[in-house]
Structures are given as structure tokens and as C-alpha cells.
Chains A and B, each alone.
Chain A
Amino acid sequence: MEVRLVHLSKYFGEVRAVNDLNLEIKSGEFVALLGPSGCGKTTTLLMIAGIYIPTEGEIWFGDRIVNDLLPKDRNIGMVFQSYALYPHMTVFENISFPLKLKKVPMAERRKRAQRVADMMQIGHLMDRKPAQLSGGQQQRVALARALVKEPDILLFDEPLSNLDAKLRLTMRGELKRLQKDLGITSIYVTHDQVEAMTMADRVAVLRDGRLQTFSTPDDLYNRPQTLFVAGFIGSPPMNFIDATLVQENGKVVVKAEGMRIELPDELGKRALARAKSDRVVYGIRPEHVHLDPEGDIEAEIYVVEPLGREDLLDCRLLGGSVMGVLAPAGQPVGPGDKVRLRFEAEHSQLFDPETEHTLLW
């Protein structure tokens, strides 16, 4: 089922929880809604589910506007962060509840519930109460309940955030495989960017109720559209430096105090064409800056943070700006050491400081 949100808004009094949101989700697609706390992810999901009535705008399922459709008529499955398993019902009763409400005969209810439960590997727990299950098992029951009515659309509201790190990793893979196998259009709310990037076909980044970008994880990471997205996606975060854009000897060069970077011709041309002034925000990810005795940028080590596989070095450029550098673990350097840095210029990002929009993509 294809889902379209058209100029969708939801106000709570003065609060604009969702503000003029436009989103087109393809049939069978797995879309993540990503954004910091309070940016309107849950509100969007609840509007799609039919729990909240939009203040403005339209929600389309296929070729039908569903604004006035009751939740029970939308054929949606939803998994809540709290799982929301009814404590007074057994696992079987929980899973088959949507079927009971549809007046499906008992024999068929049993069959379908058992089938979904087996698929989720909880078939042997049917007689237990939710309180007698582990968090991971509860999660599977919640998923089974969402799937049992063969929904057109699956909605997830941070379903993995109550699991421990290892289980989360397992469930991430399972969920993604399940979604691909079943081909159910899915909308997945999370504030965990790794979750969004690894699971989703496309990621919609929200901020203060507004859509920032809607693109593939690859674009999001390598070709961020806005300064916010560039800083929000990626850990450790991208380095930003206020700089000027100049032309020297036919080359486009980004300059800041203690830093000079020649852009590759293609990038340089694009940046020049779009820049409204010579002032820009220069961005580069820590993994694209290297310690290199041949490098042409001088810096001083400020802090070394071992991350296990890598070390994160905070280096101070001559101009005073601090730059995170990811280097293989066990670097023979310490705070106060003078080093030289080499930037991978082809991985540069440039943003307009006024509009905060990219100058490159």
C-alpha cells in the first residue's frame, strides 16, 4: 500500500507538533522517521494510524483519502515502544485480539495466531501472560499481534528502544528481513540514527515538526542536504568550520585560519555557482581526515579518546578550531603533540551559512 502525506499538520494549541509535512512512501517500502526527541515523529505516526485527526492536510492510502477513516477501518498494524500488551490476556489472546474483534471464528483464530507466533518463534508461549515474558519475547508478541491481521501498513514507534544492545542488534536484522519477506509498507519511528540507516530504504529526517530531508541512507550520509542533517547523521559527528570560498590559480579553495583546502574541480565549480557570498560553512567527517607527516595542515593534539577499534583525536588547528580525526587505534601521539593533517578533499561538504543548505548536491 502506497502512503502519501500531503501538507500534513498537527497543532496542539500553540505547539506545532507536525508542520506542513509532505512524504510519499512507495508500496512495500521501509521508511524511517528520524529526528531528535519532540520533533513530531510519534504525532505523525498516530495521525497515520487514525488516532489523531490532522489539523490540516491529507493522508492518502493508495488512491484514497483516509483522514476520516476510523483506526479500525485502516487495516494497520502497530508496534508500540511499551509494546502495550494487554496484561489481563494471555499471549494467544493478545495475538488473536484483532481477529476476535473482526469476528473471525475461533478455529481460524487459533490457526492464524499460531502461524504468526511460530514465525516469531513464540509459538510455545501461547498460554503465558505478558508479565511472564522477557522483554524480547514481549516484543515478538507485539509484532505478532500487529502482523496477525495481515495489515496493509506496519507502524513502529521506537520498538527496539527497550531491549538490551545485543538483542536490539538481532531484532534489527530480523525485523528488516521480515519486512522484506512480507513486503508490507512500513513506517518506523526512531531517534537512533544507526537503526534508521541500517534498516530503512529511505529515511525522513524531522526537526521541529518539519521535514528536513527524505532520502536514502547513502545520500543522507554522503550527500546531506542541510547543515542539520550533516551534523545529526554520523557518529562521531561531522566537523564544521566557518570558512571563505576563493579562487586561486584557477582552483577553488576553501580557506580558514590555519587551513587551506583545494576542492576537486567538479565540487569547486558547483560550489562557486551556488554560493551567494564567499562565506561558507565547511564540513568534513572525522574518518576523512588523516594524520599524515606529508599533510599540509598543522595541528596540535588536544584530547585522545580511544573508541576501541579507532581513536578519536581532537586536534586544534592553528586558527583555534577543533577538528575530530578518526585514526586506527594505538596512535603514538598524546595531548600537546604537534601533528600534520591531510583532508580527503573529495569528501568535503559546503553549506550556505544563511540558509544552511548544501552548496554541492
Chain B
Amino acid sequence: MTQQTVTAQVTPHMDVSWRARLRRFTTPAFFTGPAFVLVFLFFFLPVILTILISLTDMSVATISDIKFVGLKNYIRIWRSRTTWKILRNTFIYVGFTLTFFNVGLALVLALITTHIPDRWGTAFRTFWLLPRITPSVIYAIMWTWFTADAPYGIVNQFLQIFGVEPRNWMSAQPWLVVIAANGFVGASFGMIIFTSAIRSIPVDFLRAALVDGASTWQRIRYVILPMIRWPILFVVSYQTLSLLASFEYILLLTDGGPGFYTTEVWSLHAYHRALSNYFGNVQFGYGAALAAILVVIGVIASVIYLRVFRFNEMVAEPKIEVI
């Protein structure tokens, strides 16, 4: 493209200049077009529709007579007492899953599998990826069995050895189960990213650290972690956004329960209100408003990440060295 700009500048001929200018527009349009169409169809259009619906009273009851109600749905959300509980739940869910699993466990796994013989490391990582390629429903069912009520359930069987009272873990510790079930799958993403980041640290740095007198742990702390801080930030931001929007495992495991909204998070709440007849009357408008708020939160978060973490630098063009 730079080349074309140059052509346009140095050719005085009117006709050529006009064509060049057209080409300057058509070539990028040609290449970015398909992506643009997809983004428009599957992101912008739904967002606009969601916002439009959120301004109406659309529900099963009113489907034949939809009225424009302005910001009424948003005011209802603001006034609802459950909103704050759900917001708190969302923070718990995103915060804990992110810290302990999607980033924390992922880092631990990446570090362990890069510090043991390669064959074992690769085998272990492959094994850890299995849940990701398992259908969510099957994975959730496995967790249900895993935590099943006494006298069944692998967790109960196992903990009995240590004299722990068997119980229904799903209702006794719903957050634990929800966060662990999400986290064990979620950790694989960070694990892969961190592993390749660790692998790409030039080996001389790792050797120099050893010669300088570092123990394995000191080398991780002072050399490896600082050198992979951008990938870590990337995973933090990316996973925050995907966790905010994800709810399928919670839906399958606890469905927001047990009891009143114990594990109901924002996106699940939007789903319940808008699409599931949990309450007998499906309220499209109210659910759409909830979803729209989530979109706004996501967009704000992305902008902050882009700015604060200088994403541009993270994805800077690779400096290809002339050989």
C-alpha cells in the first residue's frame, strides 16, 4: 500500500492518479470486506437489535402488541434488588476463575510442563486440552457425577478416605464447583499461550540466570515471569471478557441455584430473563437490556485494556531480521 501511495504522488497524469486513488480504496476494501461483513452481520447487527429490543416491553405476553418504553427496562434493572446480588456474583465468578484458574493455574501448568522432560510436558498438556474438545454437556455431566450426592460421587468416595463427611457438593459448595468446572477448562487457553511464551525466551537468558546463581524458583520469579508479562496481560484481558460473557457451564451445573440466585451471573440472568421460561413469562425486552449493559461493560473493558496495556505494542509487527 505504501507503494501505491508513492505511485499516486509521483505520477502527474490525472487519469492514472484517479485510478490509483480508486485502487487505494478498493484493494483494502477487497481484503477487509469479508471480515467487515461478518463483523457487521454477527456483531453490530445483534448489538443494535439488542439495544432496540431493550427499549421495548417485548415479552411473550406482549408479543402481539409491542410498545416502545424508553429506558424503563434499564430503570427496572437499576431498582431491582437482585441486580446487586447478580453483579456481586459476576465479580466472584470472573475474579476467582480468572485469578485461580485461567491465569493462576494456567501459569503453574505452563511452568511445570516446561520444567519437566519435553515428552512428559507435551503429553500432559495434550491431556489437559481434552475437556476443551469435549462437548460442554458431557463435561458438565461428568462434573455432576463427580460431585454427586452421598453415597455416590468420586469426590465423596475420595474424601471419605480422609474422614470427610460425604455431602452433595453441588449444593454445599456451589461456587467451588462452578469455578473449578470452568477453571479446569479455562486454564488450558492460558497454559498454551504461556507455554509458547516461555518456549520463545532465548535459551541464553535461562542459562545466564543459572550461571548468575538463580535457583529454579528465582529464575521463574526474576527472569521468566517478567519476560512473559505481555502474554500474561493478554490472557488476563481476553479471559475477563470471555468469562463475563460465558454462562453455559453454570447453566448446566447449577442453573444459577441452588436456592435464590446463589450462582446466577449477569449473562446467565440475561439468558434466563430473555430466553428461558424460568419465570413463566419470557421478557425479551428486560433480558435485552441486561445483555446491552454487558456489551457496554465489555466494550469499556476492551478500550481500557487497549489503552492501559498498550495492546498495539503487544501485537507489534515482528521485526524480521535481514539474513
A residues with a Cβ closer than 8 A to B are: 46, 49-51, 70-72, 76-78, 80-82, 84, 86-88, 97-98, 100-102, 145, 149, 155
Which of B211, B222, B223 is A78 in contact with, Cβ under 8 Å?
B211
Give Cα A348 to B218, complex, Å: 58
Q: Are the CB atoms of B205 and A72 closer together than 8 Å?
A: no
Complex: A33 Cα to B23 Cα, angstroms: 60
Closest to B208 in A: A84
1/0 per residue, CB under 8 A from A, across B206-229: the answer is: 011011111100100011001101
Whether the pair A78, B226 counts as a contact (CB closer than 8 A) is: no
Q: Cβ of B210 and Cβ of A72 under 8 Å apart?
A: yes
Interfacial chain B residues near A98, Cβ < 8 Å: 212-213
Across the A-B interface, give the 6 residue pairs with the lowest CB-CB distance, nearest first.
Answer: A84-B208, A84-B204, A72-B213, A71-B210, A101-B213, A88-B226
Residues in B lying within 8 Å of A, measured CB to CB: 202, 204-205, 207-208, 210-215, 218, 222-223, 226-227, 229
Residue from B207, B212, B215, B223 with most neighbouring chain A CB atoms (10 Å): B212
The one of A82, A87, A101, A155 in contact with B212, judged by C-beta atoms closer than 8 angstroms, is: A101
- Complex formed: what's the CA distance from A76 to B208 in Å? 11
- Which residue in chain B gives the minimum CB-CB distance to A49? B211
Chain B residue nearest to A52 in the complex (CB): B207
- Our pick among A71, A81, A86, A88 for the contact of B211 (Cβ within 8 Å) is A71
A sample of 15 inter-chain contacts (CB < 8 A) reads: A46-B207, A50-B210, A50-B211, A71-B210, A72-B215, A77-B211, A78-B207, A84-B205, A86-B222, A86-B223, A88-B229, A97-B212, A100-B222, A101-B214, A145-B212
CB closest chain-B residue, reference A77: B211
Known A71-B213, A98-B213, A102-B213; further 16 A-B contacts with Cβ < 8 A? A49-B211, A50-B210, A51-B210, A72-B210, A72-B213, A72-B215, A76-B211, A77-B211, A81-B204, A82-B202, A82-B204, A86-B208, A88-B226, A88-B227, A101-B215, A101-B218
User: Which residues of A sit under 8 angstroms from B212, Cβ to Cβ?
Assistant: 72, 97-98, 101, 145, 149
Roughly how many angstroms separate A271 CA and B211 CA in the complex, as a whole number?
Answer: 48
Known: A72-B210, A78-B208. A84 touches B222 (CB 8 A): no
B-side contacts of A88, CB under 8 Å:
226-227, 229
CB closest chain-A residue, reference B205: A84
CB distance from A361 to the nearest CB of B (A): 38
Instruction: Find the residue from B213, B214, B223 having the highest chain A CB count within 10 A.
Output: B213
- Given contacts A72-B213, A86-B223, A145-B212, A51 and B202 within 8 Å (CB-CB): no
CB < 8 Å neighbour of A149 from B202, B204, B213:
B213
Residue of B nearest to A85 (CB): B208
